[in-house]
Amino acid sequence: MHRRTLLRGTTALGAAALTASATPAHATAAAAASAVPGRAGGPQRVHVVMFEGVEELDHVAPYEVFSAADHFADRGVEVRYVTMGNARTVRGAYGSRIHVDHRWAPDEADVLVVPGGGYTRREDPGVWAEIRRGTLPRALAAAARPGLTISALCTGVMLLSAAGLTKGRPCTTHHRVRADLERQGGVVKDARVVDDGDLVTAGGVTSGLDLALWLVRRELGADAAIGLEGMLEYEARGTVWQAAPDRR
């Protein structure tokens, strides 16, 4: 028997209970799941963008959620770490090292996830250094296309802002840099996750779990997200702000 079937069986009773006590993030999941359909056929392709100074939890949490989603969803999920330039080892904000095998290829993705890290430490590697260099913001600006959801969390949202992707659009980021995001033209919402269709943003650090769980609900269905919550022993928290249907 496929592991996916076994895991579904163990979470079936829990799913009903979780649905009955839904948080605000769960309350609008059904509408979101039908509002932005995923690519028809084939696996859901998720690319997590890596750069020097990236915050560890910012990239690990979404990577694990999307990778484990394959066990709960009818549709397959492929998750990659990607980086600009050649395959290389990326050093995180706290010294961890991740070897990234895949190059930047947004045309091969359905979802991009941009973590944060290093925005407030402007002398160190991280978001601020990437903004100053300009290569990644330009690549993000050029990546936007129909069928691609660009998402970011924590100070990674400031990379999207530098790319011009949040200007005039509902968004959020780490609470310490919301004022910067607003000054740069973002329409900041007081929510854990802000879903504006092809642009999905989230707050600081641990909200990477909520961002990924929300996108799993939206793209792969509520059963997959509920199964993941049971496996991770984590219940999605906070409010998800959603654009009106006519903006999707």
What pLDDT band is residue 236 in, cutting at 50, 70 and 90?
very high
Q: At residue 235, what are phi and psi to the nearest 5 degrees? A: -105, 125
**What is the spatial distance between Cα 159 and Cα 164, in angstroms, rounded to a whole number?**
9
Question: Tens digit of pLDDT for each residue in 10-32?
Answer: 333 333 333 323 334 433 443 44
Two tokens, residue 157? 């949202």
Rounding to the nearest 10 degrees, give the CA dihedral for residues 65, 38, 170, 134.
Answer: 80
What residues form DSSP beta bridges with 247?
none
Task: Quickly count: other Cβ atoms within 10 Å of residue 72's Cβ.
Answer: 24
How does DSSP classify residue 176?
A: G
- Asked if 232 contacts 65 with a C-beta cutoff of 8 angstroms, the reply is yes
Q: What is the pLDDT of residue 248?
A: 54
H-helix or E-strand containing 123? Answer: none
* Coil/strand/helix, residue 151: strand
- Asked if 74 contacts 33 with a C-beta cutoff of 8 angstroms, the reply is no
Paired sense of beta strands 193-195 and 240-242, if any: parallel
Angle 208-212-218 (CA atoms, 0-180°, nearest 5)? 145
**Residues belonging to the chain:** 248
pLDDT at position 7 over 80: no
132-154 residues labelled b (16+ CB within 10 A) or e (exposed): eeeebbeebeebbeeebbbbbbb
Q: What is the pTM of this model?
A: 0.84
Write down the mean pLDDT value for the chain: 87
Question: Tens digit of pLDDT for each residue in 103-152?
Answer: 999 999 999 999 999 998 888 899 999 999 999 999 999 999 999 999 99
Q: What is the pLDDT of residue 120?
A: 84
